Chain A
Amino acid sequence: MSDTRIQVPVVAEKGRIGTWLSMLWADKLAFLAALFLLIALLCAILGPWLMGDIATKQNLRGRNAPPFDLSRGWAYVLGADALGRPLLARIVVAARVTLLVAASAVAASAIVGCVLGLIAGYSRKRAAQWIMRLGDVIMSFPSLLLAVIVLYMLEPSVANIVLVLAITRIPVYLRTTRAEVLEVRERMFVSAAKVMGASDSRIIFRHILPVVLPTLVTIATLDFAFVMLAESSLSFLGIGIQPPEISWGLMVAQGRQYLTTAWWLSFWPGLAIILTTLSLNLLSNWMRIALDPAQRWRLEMKGRKND
């Protein structure tokens, strides 16, 4: 076969941040995604402080006010909810709880699942069996039922919702990590490290984890959406986020009964969820390429199109 390996010229050093930014700029979709996430993050941090008052102010004359009508002021550009509260302000304010719950749940389940998966995949002892059976138990138990039981017994607070969501998502990471570790540990470079006398922790963290991580990051971004929707179904059942606190999921759930008459109540927060996950997905796709030395040239080509 013809050998078409490519000798990449070493890119001129221009600082780590500069290199990353230029790689981000090279993928326009990922750049937009990063921009959107940055805005969402700013909303989460500054939103309640800037628009907290507007978002909770009821205006019964503006109940279910339609979108794109500026006569009530800019805050009503996306319309108003059943109590006449401006949707734009509510979405901005809700970003905090939504992102907080989703990010902490995803992070917690990813870290716990990944650590357990590494142990289960790397050691062949009884502990590995126990971990896997634990994962099976969680998986075979309907996650919503588990959530209902836990949240019924405990207070439905943000912390508890995070806990419940994290527990139900652990097996996803656990199983993926274990499967990948089982494959990677048999690769030759792991044997090579063993011959050098590398300790188990060095092999796991320096050789196995970097290979497994891109897969986990991709799953985590997909899971982000799942967790946001799961939180909304908990809110729908009344054991999720409790008003007056708001989240995008809760807003979707609240708008459901007006779906035929006022679609915008559910549509805008739904769109926010979709755009966030889409952005995360695009960004994770970019990150997978940027983190892989063998793929990175795709982003370093800059302008030289290949078609």
Chain B
Amino acid sequence: MTDHLLEVRDLSVEFHTAAGTVRAVQNVSWHLDRGETLAILGESGSGKSVSALAVMNLIDMPPGRITSGTILLNGRDMLTMTPEERRQINGATIAMIFQDPLAHLNPVYTVGWQIAEMMTTHGQPGDRARARALELLGRVGIPDPDAAMKKYPHEFSGGQRQRLMIAMALACKPDILIADEPTTALDVTVQAQVLALLEELQQETGMGLLLITHDLGVVAEIADRVVVMNAGEIVETGNAAEVYHNPQHPYTRKLIDAAPGKGQMPKERDRSGQPLLQAQKLQKHYGAFHALKGVDLTIMPGETVAVVGESGSGKSTLARAILRLDDPDGGRILYKGSDLMAMPPRDLFRLRRDLQMVFQDPTQSLNPRMTVFKLISEAWEIHPDILPKAQWKDRVAELLVKVGLTPEMAKRYPHQFSGGQRQRIAIARALAMEPKLIVCDEAVSALDVSIQAQVIQLLDGLRREFGLSYLFIAHDLPVVRDFADRVIVMKSGRIVEEGTVRQIFEDPVQPYTRALLAASLDPDPQVQAARRHAREELEQRIPA
């Protein structure tokens, strides 16, 4: 039997917590060969990162404990090695890149120094390390490498930082690169570029690439083989295309079905009558930065308008301006024909009820020191005319049931819920106001795919039940496809293209919209291969 480059056999890891022992992974086995890309796919809490952390010796022990299994690197068991031997392997033979590059780059050193340090700690002389760092910066596509060597991490964009991390990981020419959610924090177009870079580098160096992700699209784009994990166990392994087209395990099937962008597109609706909300020529400056450069927007009653754009496009500023969280510098916002900007505070206060918001991260948008009951009933404390106090308890219970939770959860605090449940609480809180319009600012982008699908379903059901309108802000086009009536594509503070879902998805006019569509990843490996082909053609036609 030939040895694999890296093999994990029957690995089990436990964590000791207050609630007892948590089995993070149980009897997990996988292997990685030279020149191969293996993806570990799973949702949060599935234990997908744990085996990689065990390989890198990054599990804190205690509370963690490896209870069984072996990790073989070129046939040698890593778990019996001395700490010094493990340290020699980390960085030199196995390197790792993380989701949030800013958190992993030291802000007080120049990036050139940091990349070179990677090599000097593994025994290379300083001048040679610096020469190689310069070469690497050029290789990963950082413009003007000479100047970049002397810059600090904050001077780079998110995508460039991830490139820096890759350069750092490659410094010692590792045999194995572990990438833990490398593109989750990046915009779609940047994500495509970073994945392409990883693939290129892999072909060049012949290293094994272990990719940990929650995104079927990333798997389709780059992986040769995939390991699907759920609740600490491997449910399925196999060739990426085979697993997608012929999933064996019910969990895999559920995961594939939950991937957005496959449902029916909604029918076009009649847009006559008085609009619910209108924004006219909205302007907003932050110092010299022009965040909104004259944005027009119309939402009809019962309509869902999606605003899609990459980070920095001004989409969140638009949401905050409409709710008057940050007042715009110019333009008008009309709600049922009356101007929100010119309104006296008392009328605005009454209007607050009609316009509600669901935020991106429910962990931060729910006050951690309030129980669910208090969080939801605060709406009625502020607006006492909605509901008399005697009915609060029943109404909270009713709302919790409506969003798919149970009434007895009202006594708990936000930290006792999972991310998806927290977002449901935030939705219940918005519903407590009996609003007409809910602004969802990236309301599902922090959630797992299967949870994402459930929350969108919930929002869709509520729309039909209460005749709500949504302004749905997202960076991801597929999410919007099954849900929105109209789509607005924004780029650097301007609306690039606007139209019905069908127009945008089937017949986009603007090159930017097309680039965005081409960059979004399809979960089907075959569709994705075709799409990549189309994207490469597009890139040749319009350079950057």
Q: Which residues of B contact A188 (CB under 8 A)?
A: 359-361, 364-365
B11 contacts the other chain (CB 8 A): no
List A residues 163-201 near B (Cβ within 8 Å). Answer: 187-189, 191-199
> How far, in Å, is B475 (CB) from chain A's closest CB?
18
Cα distance A197–B343 in the bound complex, in angstroms: 14
B325 contacts the other chain (CB 8 A): yes
Asked whether, in the complex, the Cβ of B16 is within 8 Å of the Cβ of A307, the reply is yes
Asked whether, in the complex, the Cβ of B368 is within 8 Å of the Cβ of A294, the reply is yes
* Given A197-B349, A197-B352, A202-B382, A306-B16 contact (CB < 8 Å): yes
* Given A194-B325, A196-B378, A4-B15 contact (CB < 8 Å): yes
Asked whether, in the complex, the Cβ of B359 is within 8 Å of the Cβ of A191, the reply is yes
Asked whether, in the complex, the Cβ of B45 is within 8 Å of the Cβ of A293, the reply is no
Interface residues on B, range: 35 or more
Cα distance A10–B413 in the bound complex, in angstroms: 11
* Given A307-B16, A307-B62, A192-B369 contact (CB < 8 Å): no
Asked whether, in the complex, the Cβ of A10 is within 8 Å of the Cβ of B412, the reply is yes
> How far, in Å, is B223 (CB) from chain A's closest CB?
20
> Which one of A192, A197, A304 contacts B353 once the chains associate, using CB atoms below 8 Å?
A197
Cα distance A4–B232 in the bound complex, in angstroms: 12
Asked whether, in the complex, the Cβ of B359 is within 8 Å of the Cβ of A7, the reply is no
* Given A188-B359, A297-B18, A306-B16, A195-B45 contact (CB < 8 Å): no
Asked whether, in the complex, the Cβ of A304 is within 8 Å of the Cβ of B368, the reply is no
Interface contact tally, CB-CB below 8 A: 104
Q: Which residue of A lies closest to B350 (CB)?
A: A197
Asked whether, in the complex, the Cβ of B364 is within 8 Å of the Cβ of A7, the reply is no
Q: Which residue of A lies closest to B59 (CB)?
A: A2
B418 contacts the other chain (CB 8 A): yes
> How far, in Å, is B390 (CB) from chain A's closest CB?
21
Cα distance A189–B412 in the bound complex, in angstroms: 17
Q: Which of A196, A207, A211, A304 has the most CB of B within 10 A?
A: A196
> Which one of B24, B361, B426 contacts A2 once the chains associate, using CB atoms below 8 Å?
B24
Q: Which residues of A contact B22 (CB under 8 A)?
A: 2, 4
**Count of A interface residues, CB-CB < 8 Å:** 35
Asked whether, in the complex, the Cβ of A306 is within 8 Å of the Cβ of B383, the reply is no
Q: Which of A1, A3, A199, A202 has the most CB of B within 10 A?
A: A1
Q: B15-32 vs A: 1/0 string, CB under 8 Å?
A: 111110010110000000
Asked whether, in the complex, the Cβ of A3 is within 8 Å of the Cβ of B413, the reply is no
> How far, in Å, is A291 (CB) from chain B's closest CB?
8
> Which one of B356, B371, B383, B416 contacts A195 once the chains associate, using CB atoms below 8 Å?
B356
Cα distance A267–B367 in the bound complex, in angstroms: 47
Cα distance A1–B24 in the bound complex, in angstroms: 10
B415 contacts the other chain (CB 8 A): yes
Cα distance A301–B20 in the bound complex, in angstroms: 11
> How far, in Å, is B287 (CB) from chain A's closest CB?
15
Q: Which residues of A contact B44 (CB under 8 A)?
A: 1, 3
Asked whether, in the complex, the Cβ of B365 is within 8 Å of the Cβ of A6, the reply is no
A298 contacts the other chain (CB 8 A): yes
Q: A268-295 vs B: 1/0 string, CB under 8 Å?
A: 0000000000000000000000001110
Q: Which of A188, A294, A304 has the most CB of B within 10 A?
A: A188
A8 contacts the other chain (CB 8 A): yes
Cα distance A2–B13 in the bound complex, in angstroms: 11
B50 contacts the other chain (CB 8 A): yes
Asked whether, in the complex, the Cβ of A211 is within 8 Å of the Cβ of B369, the reply is yes
Q: Which 7 A-B residue pairings sit nearest by Cβ, starting from the closest?
A: A3-B45, A197-B352, A188-B364, A293-B413, A188-B365, A294-B415, A6-B19
Q: Would you give 22 A-B contacts (Cβ < 8 Å), ordered by A?
A: A2-B50, A4-B22, A5-B416, A7-B19, A7-B416, A188-B359, A189-B368, A191-B325, A192-B365, A192-B429, A195-B352, A195-B355, A196-B352, A196-B378, A197-B382, A202-B381, A210-B369, A211-B369, A292-B368, A293-B369, A293-B413, A298-B18
Query: Which residue numbers of A lie inside 8 Å of B, CB to CB?
Result: 1-8, 10, 187-189, 191-199, 202, 206-207, 210-211, 292-294, 297-298, 301, 304, 306-307
Query: Which residue numbers of B lie inside 8 Å of A, CB to CB?
Result: 15-19, 22, 24-25, 44-45, 47, 49-50, 62-63, 232, 320, 323, 325, 349, 352-353, 355-357, 359-361, 364-369, 371, 378-379, 381-383, 411-413, 415-416, 418, 426, 429, 433
Known: A2-B15, A10-B412. 11 other contacts (CB 8 A): A4-B17, A4-B22, A188-B361, A192-B359, A195-B325, A196-B378, A197-B382, A211-B369, A293-B369, A298-B18, A307-B16
